[in-house]
Amino acid sequence: MAGRAGVAQPLSGRRRPVTLRLAPSLDPAPVPHPDTVAALAARVEAAGRIRLGRSLAVMLLRPGGCAGCAGEGRALADAPYDMARFGLRFVDSPREADVLLVAGPATRNMTEALGRCWSAMAEPRWVVAVGDCAAGTGPFEGSYALEAGGVGAVLPLDLVVPGCPPAPTLILEALLALMEAQA
């Protein structure tokens, strides 16, 4: 096929087939028991009010990886959990955040951004590493693009939530444990 100089042309007139890679499981996510969510929310609200006297502002930061942990973290705002009604809210600015949830590995190109987010946060401030990648393990461990030791090598970690990815209830339990330990 003749084409203009400098413009990439396909080798043949046919297009390549698109290959879709699906998640390992196509089953819907299990719906948490309403009593469990209500009990966790009540504990988070009580601990947050004791420690902070107001709602808990969380900034979810994804410095790299597959975004599985970030999706589970964002699920806290979805209908089954709806944590905003209990005083847990997501913010987009580190200046408003009390907790920095880092969901993903600490990539070398995001090291400076992680440090800037941390320094822009007001006291009291906490950092929670969500998932195995953020803890320095997981499928990306040993990559040249990552900081050895995970998020803990870049920021002072207060808590690590294990899992690949961890369930939203586990993330909520971790936030609760963090607030109760600091109270």
The answer on pLDDT for 11 being more than 80 is no
Domains of the chain: 34-182 (3.40.50.12280)
Per-residue CA distances from 66 to 163, 164, 174 (Å): 13, 10, 21
Q: What tens digit of pLDDT does each residue of 122-176 get?
A: 888 889 999 888 888 878 777 878 888 888 888 998 888 888 888 888 888 887 7
Percent of the chain with pLDDT over 70: 74
What pTM was computed for the model?
0.70
Asked whether 134 and 93 are in contact (CB, 8 A), the reply is no
- As a whole number, mean pLDDT of residues 16-40 equals 62
Distance CA 100, CA 58 (A): 6
Between 11 and 140, residue with greater pLDDT: 140
Asked whether 100 and 94 are in contact (CB, 8 A), the reply is yes
CB atoms within 10 A of CB 33: 11
- Concatenating the DSSP letter of every residue in 110-146 gives GHHHHHHHHHHSPSS-EEEEESTTTTT-STTTT-TTB
Query: What residues are paired with 130 via a beta bridge?
Result: 103, 161
Per-residue pLDDT band for 14 (boundaries 50, 70, 90) equals: low
Type and span of the H or E element at 161: strand 159-161
User: Token pair for residue 177?
Assistant: 């444990």
Distance CA 92, CA 87 (A): 16
- As a whole number, mean pLDDT of residues 64-88 equals 78
- As a whole number, mean pLDDT of residues 37-50 equals 70
- As a whole number, mean pLDDT of residues 90-98 equals 89
